[in-house]
Amino acid sequence: MPQSTSANRPARPRDAASVLIWRERAHGIEVLMGRRSSRARFVPGMYVFPGGVLDPRDRRVSMRLGEHLLSVSPGLGGTPSLALALAYTAVREVHEETGLSLRASVRAEVGALPDLSALRFLGRAITPTNSRMRFHARFFAASASSFIGDMAGDGELSDLQWVGVDNPARLPMIDVTELMLSELAQQLSGTPHRPALLSYRGDKPRLRRWA
């Protein structure tokens, strides 16, 4: 039997987080999205939600926030401290990529910090094992009214725009993105919503839900 080597082991997924910033219009729900560069190493040219990879500094900052600022879902995976760090990752990346900032919650002992209670957990996804770059991504949702600032990002995402949850313009998106748009529509409809986990066996998607 051939020996397993690091060369043929799947890459370890990196923790990451995104936010679906939504607003309601007469024609339905819209979500803020942008397009990744055609030269990007991961999903080039696709429309995505603002977000990115967990940074070690996010853990240090999130320790100041307090666990009560975020409703932690059992489907999020990991510890409450990791959940806080990922939520902070998501709002930090939103600011960097769109210029928008989550409104602050002023607490006397620590000062003004992002009010993570505005975030609602939607679900998570793990990149297939045959991908050279893998992520364990968590997806949160928050109303646009929870954010302030003018839209002007760092250039990582281009063509920032509000996109209907049914993607009426048929913008190019990967399956995870389309799933989370559907999850948001369900969550906002008022029907019971159970967070989803999208993973893969080979190239075949598998969807699980938590109670």
Within a domain: 3:
no
pTM of full prediction above 0.85: yes
Mapped onto helix, strand or coil, the DSSP state of residue 183 is helix
Please tell me the distance from the alpha carbon of residue 72 to that of residue 184, in angstroms, as a whole number. 17
Number of domains present in the structure of the chain: 1
Tens-digit pLDDT string for the chain (211 aa): 334 345 578 889 999 999 999 999 999 999 999 999 999 989 999 999 999 999 988 888 777 665 545 555 667 777 778 888 898 899 999 999 999 999 887 554 555 678 888 999 999 999 998 888 999 999 999 999 999 999 987 788 999 999 999 999 999 999 999 999 999 999 999 888 888 899 998 889 999 987 6
Residues in the chain: 211
List the CATH number of the domain containing 77. 3.90.79.10
CA distances to 123, 142, 183, 186, 187 from 191, in Å: 16, 17, 11, 6, 7
Q: Per the domain annotation, does 134 fall within a domain? A: yes
d(CA 187, CA 176): 16
